[in-house]
Structure 1
Amino acid sequence: MEQKTFDPDGVGVDNGTYFGLPFEPETAALVLISAPWDVTVSYGAGTAYAPDALIEASTQLDYYDPLAPDAWRRGIATADIDYTLQEESQRLRTDAARVIEHLEGGGCPEDDYAVRKIRRVNEGCRALNANIAAQARHWLERGKTVGLVGGDHSTPYSLIRALGERYERFGILHVDAHCDLRDAYEGFEFSHASIMFNVLRDVGAVQRIVQVGVRDYSRREAETAAASGRVVLFDDMALAGAEFRGETWDAQCRRIVEELPQEVYVSFDIDGLDPADCPHTGTPVNGGLSFNKAVWLLDTLVRSGRRIIGFDLVEVCPAREERTDAVTGARMLWKLCGQTLKSNEKPNEK
């Protein structure tokens, strides 16, 4: 479909792109790359199928967003999805699941049974990282803003590294139920539970990681956060306590945003939301942000004058029996796209 024939007030078009939009990556301001991968998930699997589910669900939303009206007109394009990643994910998931079962039964990662399987998984994850790095660099070199649709939370690692090669410093706004600060969780170096540990280790340009809504993390992760000097926790109970004492969510959002530098990457794990909005995500946790609170936080970030240089949306796990997860994921993806484009507007474009 050509852009000149596209009717934003018409029926959603199933053309294989996110939101059914007609933009080509070469001419769009924002390019979405996809990572259908969930090898190391430690509880519920299925996020590898999120990109296709979000493409399907996204054609059912309306384009007008009062917080970022017409931002989409600058172009949101869908890069070709590499489905060999999904095939490899399915193959390696068997090995990872057997390792996890072995560990849960009292085994350890150094046992002969686990060592070879862990090695295969780690090699596969490195190949995934190389694939995403190549895709990210390709579009960044062409002046595009890049968003990633996962897949599990391990998948944006190489996008963040690619941004670290282009920016002297930036911060990460990390919305999640978990800190993801575990060192090689379950023996997997690039585990979904290790993404922020790996970023701290490997991406020196990341000046600050501001974690919002976290509510299920280990003592060691808390100690890692405290010792790093680069991590700020706004855990879920602390946010709830401030609200109970009368602080408005708007004031809390302003406190959160003040911890971030001018350039910001947003890493949005859907399980940062109330599990009522994402009941099938791999590791749901009671509590969390409402959808509107999360959107208000993103809007506060952009209204502060900060610029979103990239983002990811991960851990959406579509379910066959009902569509809540995909519907929530598609609409959060739309908000992320709109706020990102709005934050990158030049004065003469407003």
Structure 2
Amino acid sequence: MNVSDSNDRLSGFDPNGVGETGKLFGLPFDEESAEMVIIPVPWEVTVSYASGTAKGPEAVLEASSQVDLFQQDIVDAWKMGICLLPLPEELILENNKQRELASNYIHWLEEGGQPSEKGRFGKIPKIINRACENMNRWVYETARQHLSKGKSVGLLGGDHSTPLGLIKALSEAVDDFGVLQIDAHADLRPAYEDFQYSHASISYNFMQLPQISNLVQVGIRDFCEQEFELAKSDSRIILHTADHIHAALFKGHSWDSICEGVISGLPPKIYLTIDIDGLDPKLCPHTGTPVPGGLEYPQLDYLVKKLVQSGREIIGFDIVEVAPGPDGDEWDANVGARLLYRMANLMGVSQGKLQWNS
């Protein structure tokens, strides 16, 4: 799209009116004209409890048309331009195929992993790991392509295994950065259910990248002893568990002061990874592994806004584990869409592509 075409589309767009059908937030941008692209990754091969997150990107896209574009604290936020890349049909088909295989293997493990069936099930982890490697490679190559064009890049999952390729692509462009993880789970298992690229292993996997200086986890409240011991033994990992956060609040500490403590442990450049189950389950009741006691939406918004106000730059982000409800229930997708728009805009401010409203 040339400059004239872009200006024509912007001048003819009413941010107070009805947006374009099939466009993220109804915005008049495509992947060429948008300053920020969002990679949809409809993948949930290794989910270990409830499924549905593979349908998250499409559900969020549909719900996004109901999001008002005005941001009281950001000037003309919509003008930055955000575009969701096309849903990858081949990846959807591969997910469906491998998800059935992985589900059968998980069921076999839960039934005790009978040795008599080892010949039937023993090769499945290798097959699944290879499929997940291919998914990670696709995400990496897609992210690298758009980063090379100067685009800001975010990701919309799928389960929490999906952003590894994006984080790897960013690690080749940024020498040193930290990760802020909002999550109910630590995701620090070296592997889970014999799957190397499990949704429960994403943090362990990206912490193998030498460019990541530290990991700050917020809202963690469901993790195993192995993960806890790993976090204690690795000085790069800082845990702000839900128990500690709630104890501080009950003692009269302000959320502002808690956020200051979280942010103080982060370097100048940040990758933000948000598992929707980091929020209270009333905001994401159909996510795969909901856990009581999560953050409220305004708490998360306040934390990330304060992070940006501190002068730190968000170099990339993901939102994962959004799962639509049955019978057309759009509540989870509605929350996910609003969170996506807000995080994209805050990232835009941190990168100087948008400005605070004074």
The question of a shared fold, defined as TM-score above 0.5 by the shorter chain, is answered with: yes
Looking at structure 2, the residues matched to 174 and 27 of structure 1 have their Cα atoms a distance apart, in angstroms, of 30
Once the two structures are superposed, what CA deviation does each residue of 1:148-199 show, in whole Å capped at 9, x if it has no partner? 0000000000100111111110011100000000111101110000000001
The secondary structure found in structure 1 opposite 2:101 is: helix
- The Cα shift of 1:103 comes to 1.0
- 1:130 and 2:175 matched: no
Q: For residues 77 and 212 of structure 1, what CA distance do their matches in structure 2 show?
A: 28
Kindly indicate whether the alpha-carbon contact (under 8 Å) linking 1:34 and 1:150 is maintained by their aligned counterparts in 2.
yes
For residue 3 of structure 1, report the CA deviation from its aligned partner: 2.6
Note the residue ranges of structure 2 that are not aligned, 5 or more in a row: 1-7
Residue in 2 aligned with 1:194? 201
**Which residue of 2 is the match for residue 294 of structure 1?**
300
Pairing of 1:147-296 with structure 2 (within 5 A): 147-201=154-208, 203-296=209-302
CA apart distance, 1:282? 0.1
**Once the 2 structures are TM-superposed, how far is the Cα of residue 317 of structure 1 from its aligned partner?**
0.5
Query: Is 1:341–2:348 an aligned residue pair?
Result: yes
Q: Quote the Cα distance in structure 2 between the aligned partners of 1:121 and 1:129.
A: 12
1:28 deviates by: 2.1
| 8 Å Cα contact 2:349-2:355 kept in structure 1 | no
Aligned-residue CA RMSD (Å): 1.8
Shift of 1:320: 2.9
Residues 238 and 156 (structure 1), Cα distance of their counterparts in 2 relative to 1, 3 Å cut: same
Residue matched to 2:24 = 18
Deviations 1:28-85, CA, capped at 9 Å, x for gaps: 2211111011000000111111111001000001011223342331211222221211
Change (3 A) 1:84 1:212: same
Structure 1 CA distance for aligned equivalents of residues 303 and 44 of structure 2: 27
The residue number in structure 2 matching 1:326 is 333
| Native 8 Å contact 1:179 1:214 kept in 2 | yes
Could you tell me which amino acid in structure 1 is paired with residue 124 of structure 2? K
Residues 20-39 of structure 1 correspond to what in structure 2 (within 5 A)? 20-39=26-45
1:120 is the counterpart of 2:120: no
Moved more, 315-324 or 187-196: 315-324
Aligned residues: 348
Q: Residue 145 of structure 1 is aligned with which of 152, 173, 180?
A: 152
Change (3 A) 1:10 1:258: same
Aligned partner of 2:284: which letter? C
| Alpha-carbon separation, structure 2, partners of 1:158 and 1:126 | 9
8 Å contact 1:72–1:341 — kept in the other structure?
no
Q: TM-score by structure 2 length?
A: 0.94
Unmatched 5+ residue regions in structure 1? none
Q: Is the 8 A contact 1:36 1:83 kept in 2?
A: no
Q: Deviation at 1:298?
A: 0.7
Displacement after TM superposition at 1:111 (Å): 3.4
Q: Does 1:103 align with 2:109?
A: yes
Contact 1:72 1:337 in 2 (8 A): no
User: In the TM superposition, what whole-angstrom CA distance separates every residue of 1:204-245 from its partner, at most 9, and x where no partner exists?
Assistant: 111111000000000100111111211100000100000001
Q: How does the TM-score come out when normalised to structure 1? A: 0.96
2:72 is aligned with what amino acid? Answer: P
Q: Out of 79, 87, 110, which is 1:81 matched to?
A: 87
- Measure how far apart 1:17 and its partner are: 2.3
In structure 1, which of residues 3, 6, 12 is the aligned counterpart of residue 13 of structure 2? 6
Is the deviation greater in 215-224 or in 337-346? Answer: 337-346
Distance between the aligned counterparts of 1:238 and 1:327, measured in 2? 29
CA displacement, residues 265-297 of structure 1 (integer Å, 9 cap, x when unaligned) = 100000000000000000000100001101111
Cα offset, 1:347, TM superposition: 9.5
Q: Which moved more, 1:236-245 or 1:97-106?
A: 97-106
Letter in 2 for 1:339: L
Deviations 1:282-321 (A, max 9, x none): 0000100001101111101101010110000000001133
Distance (Å, rounded) in 1 between the aligned partners of 2:355 and 2:163: 32
- Change over 3 Å in CA distance of 1:60–1:346 after alignment to 2: closer
Look up the match of 2:5.
none
Which stretch shifts more, 225-234 or 209-218?
225-234
Change (3 A) 1:347 1:182: closer
Q: Judge conservation of contact 2:18–2:26 (CA < 8 Å) in 1.
A: no
Deviation at 1:108, TM superposition (A): 7.7
What is the aligned counterpart of 2:71 among 56, 65, 70? 65
Contact 2:348 2:354 in 1 (8 A): no
Work out the CA distance in 2 between the residues paired with 1:3 and 1:151.
31
